[in-house]
A and B are shown apart, each in its own frame.
Chain A
Amino acid sequence: MSADFLYGIEVIINGLMAGVLYALVALGFVLIFKASGIFNYAQGVMALFAALTLVGIMEGQVPFSHLINAIFGTEVHHFGWEVPALLAIALTVLIMIGFAWAVQRFVFRHLVGQEPIILFMATIGLAYFLEGVGDLMWGSDIKTLALGLPQGGSLAVEEWTAGLGGDDFYGFFIDKLDMIATIVAILLVASLIIFAQYTKQGRAMRAVADDHQAALSVGISLNFIWVLVWSLAGIVALVAGVMWGAKSGVQFSLSLIALKALPVLMLGGFTSIPGAIVGGLIIGVGEKLFEYTIGAPFLGGATENWFAYMLALIFLVFRPQGLFGEKIIERV
């Protein structure tokens, strides 16, 4: 096989792995949108907040330490212990569930039946609020997430695949962290699907996503389901935040990963879980392949920054409901 062809395959593999992460972020949006019709602008900030909380707990940081020090004139910063990663993850999940409950109890319970645009505005407020709380709790400095995950190219894959091509091919370069992120994302999506298909709560969740009135009539509490989907979205945000944070540090720009999910949603549709997954993969592969074949050789590179949005725009023109979204029919 020619080296060019094999490098093309490498680009596709890397694209698929990036796509899985995009899909993960998009999934958080879809979960909430399907069940409640809320487009959650705060999804990206939730990923940032979850990652910040995880790092803070692991390092034994005192939450709100700046505030405490300012008020009481103390100098506390750390408890002086470190929390093992698994325990810290469990605690962060609990905090995200608490957050989901609070969001439902104090914000959206009072906005039931409001226009979508009002719900959307509420999530914008929520995003800035959560960003502020994150800063106040854990400080605004860039943190490194030391989960002990391996990083860098995998030598094993490189050696194993080197024999595929001739002398000018050195094997696939595949990042170990990307591989782990892919496996984790696949496991998460699989458990979400099993949850939605087979458990009572999952079935109730699908029922609420379909029809609120009918769901009530078979004994489903809408409030409970909304707390549930916000919790799931929080857990998805945590995973996305961890994977992205491990790559490029936990800092404010992490919240911008939500922007990457927008084209994925336009492609896959806002209401489809398979859509989010396929959309993420298409965007991941598309932008890497475009960069490799057209962007770098002819357009001066860096096309990955805008390719996804251009693709989404084309989709908006020809298929506004996305690949799998429900067809939009306006009754006249």
Chain B
Amino acid sequence: MKDTVEPYVTDDGRTIGGVLMDMRNITLRFGGVEAIKDISFDIREGEIRAIIGPNGAGKSSMLNVISGFYNPQEGEVWFRGEKRPQMRPYQVARLGIARTFQNIALFEGMTVLDNIMTGRLTHMKSGMFWQALWAGRAEKEEVENREKVERIIDFLEIQAIRKTPVGRLPYGLKKRVELARALAAEPKLLLLDEPMAGMNVEEKEDMSRFILDVNDEFGTTIALIEHDMGVVMDLSDRVVVMDYGRKIGDGTPDEVRGNQEVIDAYLGVAHD
């Protein structure tokens, strides 16, 4: 069933559609070092796709290729059925691919609300003149954007800190605000770079719940990188496993768990 590109319905009732993003034979080099070696995989509409692997496996590089921060030397990136030319990160963002960062990149000087509003920038179409006057189409647009942002704030349960400058927030909440900003863009593909890194158990549980809810409620396709194996296996529909820049496994969490090469490279502890 999952080998075809026909839509299918998961056990928990979500519909997984056709291929949204197709990475074909991606190779990325830094000088003489090959960070990614000839990797292909796809991301299907509506699914939660994980990329896992030990430190230095090239997971973050892969995410940076998808989001346009790196341009691969070889290979093709296909998005929504079209080959994507070389692009800069802001152009990729305008295509509808939003992301978060492993080390959190927020606008520290702005409030939570203003941070999330920046996620709406690509959706603002009215003229600068009208925006300055807060009139005409700009006013209507601003009200709509505010409503969407407020909905996300409610959804991620951060109402209490709406007006707080982000610089003052604890780590876990910052991660949530970053997720909110990415969501505000209403992305077709949401990239999460180690969303649970550095969190305590409770925060991890919260974040897992939010990721599942986002996928379920908004139907957002999510690709995430994660270290924490347990979390990944519970969350994702399909998993890509990387090691030393190569792809060593690809499939459902159960399939990957049973793959001997994956066990040797990464899950060594689980194999006795």
Contacts and interface: CB of A to CB of B under 8 A. Distances in A.
B128 A221 contact: no
A206 B131 contact: no
A218 B122 contact: yes
A198 interface: yes
Given A203-B121, A207-B107, A211-B108, A219 B90 contact: yes
Contact of A216 (B93, B119, B134): B93
Q: Mostly helix, strand, loop or mixed at chain A's interface? A: helix
A14 to B, nearest CB: 33
Contacts of A206: 107, 110
A214 interface: yes
B105 interface: yes
B132 interface: yes
B156 to A, nearest CB: 17
Contact of B181 (A194, A203, A210, A218): A218
A326 B128 CA distance: 29
Contacts of B118: 203-204, 207, 214-215, 218
A237 to B, nearest CB: 21
A199 interface: yes
A211 B106 contact: yes
B218 to A, nearest CB: 18
Given A194-B132, A203-B121, A214 B105 contact: yes
A219 B122 contact: yes
Interface of B: 67, 69, 88-91, 93-94, 98-101, 105-110, 114, 117-119, 121-122, 124, 128, 131-132, 134, 181-182, 185
A200 B108 contact: no
A217 B121 contact: no
A211 B105 CA distance: 7
Given A198-B132, A198-B134, A203-B121, A219 B185 contact: yes
A104 to B, nearest CB: 15
A46 interface: no
A194 B132 CA distance: 6
B239 to A, nearest CB: 24
B100 to A, nearest CB: 8
B163 to A, nearest CB: 15
A178 B78 CA distance: 61
A201 interface: yes
Contact of B101 (A200, A217, A222): A217
21 contacts: A198-B131, A200-B121, A203-B118, A203-B121, A207-B110, A210-B108, A211-B105, A213-B101, A214-B106, A216-B88, A216-B89, A217-B89, A217-B93, A217-B182, A218-B93, A218-B98, A218-B122, A218-B185, A219-B90, A220-B121, A326-B109
B93 A211 contact: no
B65 to A, nearest CB: 14
A79 interface: no
Interface in A188-209: 191, 194-195, 198-201, 203-204, 206-207
A170 to B, nearest CB: 44
Given A211-B105, A214-B118, A217-B93, 5 more contacts: A199-B131, A214-B101, A216-B88, A217-B67, A217-B100
